[in-house]
Amino acid sequence: MVAINDNLSQSIEALRAHKLRAALTVLGLTMGVATLITVMTLVQGANLYVEQKIANLGTDVFQVARTPFATTDFNLVIKSRRNKRIDYDDYLAVGAGCRECDAVGASADFTTHVRYANNELVDIDVIGHTPNMADIDTRTVEHGRYFTPVEDEHGARVCLIGATIAEQLFASVDPLGKVIRIGTEEFEVIGTFEKIGSVLGQDQDNFAIIPLRAFLKMRGSRSSLTFNVHAAGEQRMQQAMDSVRLTLRARRHLATGAPDDFFMATKDSYISLWQSISSAFFSVFIMVSSISAIVGGIVIMNIMLVSVTERTKEIGIRRAMGATRQDILRQFLTESVMQCLIGGFIGVGAGFLFALAIRTFTSFPASVQTWVAMLGVVMSSVIGLFFGIYPATRAAKLDPVVALRSE
């Protein structure tokens, strides 16, 4: 029986003698493993990225709105638009009636253009806030100040702007004290926010915040409010939610047993939604990666079959010199696994480089975890064994006499 070391050295010599064929085989597995590593890196990075952003909501904060926050049921979204709007009187009632709440803020938003001098930005998210949203909202004022309750009460034309607006409208000018036009109304800039960045490619700094009373004067009754409620501690979260629910149901005259015509959401609601969405994408991507790996395996099998045909005489000579069928089987399986492992390691390396590039040039937390890299290597070995069995078996079963006569 040929020793294991001899078997490995013969496999290496065979690969060296057929460099192009080996390179094509390696390339097939490299693409499959690199695809798998890339997909898992992106999905895991997206999960971490979104959870980091959502975590800023806090475990003692929940939101209330006319339409659902976290759902993939688009029919429910369309149906909910027939619900009664949540208005300013609802906000006052909830704030007065919720003893389990530390603070109840309200907001509403619409999209319009913002202009300063000759520069204009479109699709800006204009948000109306109550003054106490300064303590509930996770955005941080970097320069200037928030508006006061008195300014909100009088509907003062003051605003705070996100980093994108500050950078694009006031590249070399201090925006504080400047007057910008939001839609058709003029507002004085009294503050700017710290840069947030983007979430999955969506700019989070493309906004302007104005007092809610000024917002309602601009929009009238067309907007439904969203409540941002800060419970008096995480332990009283459910009590606070129940209190707000009872107040709104009473004001909307909902009968006992009738479903709510408004929706509540917590941090966990958003995380659960994202996980369900990412799981669906993950399943699809894994399917694509698996197909890519299987195609790579089929390519390997075909190339190995061609190799067996071309090396028939070599197989005959080895059999004549005393090599057994098991020796031939092991050699071809070794060649198959070696090529797949090389492709697997290169694929893992490509995944690491991709993750490094993403992390270097963006704020996306992409990284290849150890178990993912190990999965790529193990998958390569399994593919090499599985798709190498048939060609190796065919080589082992060749009649040495017939093999020696082949040209």
For residues 164 and 243, membership in a common domain is answered with yes
For residues 304 and 353, membership in a common domain is answered with yes
Largest CA distance in the chain: 102
User: Residue 1: what pLDDT?
Assistant: 44
DSSP state, residue 222? G
Provide the pairing of β-strand 119-129 with 207-211: parallel
Sequential DSSP letters for 55-124 = GGG-TTEEEEESS-SS-S-HHHHHHHTTSPPP-HHHHHHHHHH-TTEEEEEEEEEEEEEEEETTEEEEEE
For residues 20 and 154, membership in a common domain is answered with no
For residues 102 and 247, membership in a common domain is answered with yes
For residues 234 and 345, membership in a common domain is answered with no
Question: Considering the domain boundaries, does residue 291 fall inside one?
Answer: yes
Segments forming the whole domain that contains residue 119? 84-261
Among 228, 261, 294, which residue terminates a domain? 261
Among the listed residues 384, 305, 338, the one whose alpha carbon sits nearest the alpha carbon of residue 15: 338
DSSP state, residue 261? S
For residues 163 and 251, membership in a common domain is answered with yes
For residues 30 and 343, the answer to whether their CB atoms sit within 8 Å is: yes
Q: For residues 377 and 227, what is the distance between their CA atoms, to the nearest angstrom?
A: 50
Question: Considering the domain boundaries, does residue 307 fall inside one?
Answer: yes
For residues 198 and 231, membership in a common domain is answered with yes
Provide the pairing of β-strand 61-65 with 119-129: unpaired
User: Residue 308: what pLDDT?
Assistant: 79
Among the listed residues 115, 270, 104, the one whose alpha carbon sits nearest the alpha carbon of residue 189: 115
- Residues forming a β-bridge with 119: 116
Tens place of pLDDT for every residue, the chain, 407 residues?
445 555 566 556 656 666 666 777 777 777 778 877 877 777 777 776 666 656 556 678 888 998 887 666 677 778 888 889 999 999 999 999 899 998 899 999 999 999 998 899 999 999 999 999 988 888 899 999 999 999 999 999 999 999 999 999 998 899 999 999 999 999 999 999 999 887 656 788 999 999 999 999 998 777 899 999 988 888 889 999 999 999 999 999 999 889 999 998 887 777 777 777 777 777 777 787 777 777 778 877 887 787 777 777 877 787 777 778 888 888 778 877 887 888 888 888 888 888 778 777 765 666 677 777 888 888 888 888 888 888 888 877 877 666 566 55
User: Residue 293: what pLDDT?
Assistant: 74
For residues 210 and 257, membership in a common domain is answered with yes
User: Residue 297: what pLDDT?
Assistant: 80
For residues 228 and 61, the answer to whether their CB atoms sit within 8 Å is: yes
For residues 169 and 203, membership in a common domain is answered with yes
Helix (H) / strand (E) element for 237: namely: helix 237-251
For residues 137 and 130, the answer to whether their CB atoms sit within 8 Å is: no
Q: Which residue has the tokens 């006569």?
A: 405
Angle between helices 325-361 and 370-396 (to 10 degrees): 150
Q: For residues 98 and 63, what is the distance between their CA atoms, to the nearest angstrom?
A: 14
For residues 285 and 352, membership in a common domain is answered with yes
Could you tell me which residues come within 8 angstroms of residue 292 by beta carbon, excluding any fewer than 6 positions away?
A: 31, 32, 35, 36
Burial (Cβ within 10 Å: 0-12, 13-18, ≥19) of residue 323: buried
For residues 304 and 367, membership in a common domain is answered with yes
Among 238, 261, 284, which residue terminates a domain? 261
Taking the CA atoms of 84, 87, 93 and 98 in sequence, report the sign of the dihedral they define: positive
Q: For residues 207 and 202, what is the distance between their CA atoms, to the nearest angstrom?
A: 12
Could you tell me which residues come within 8 angstroms of residue 204 by beta carbon, excluding any fewer than 6 positions away?
A: 162, 196, 197, 198
Question: Considering the domain boundaries, does residue 61 fall inside one?
Answer: no
Per the structure, the count of domains in the chain is 2
Tokens of 376: 């790529």
User: Residue 70: what pLDDT?
Assistant: 61
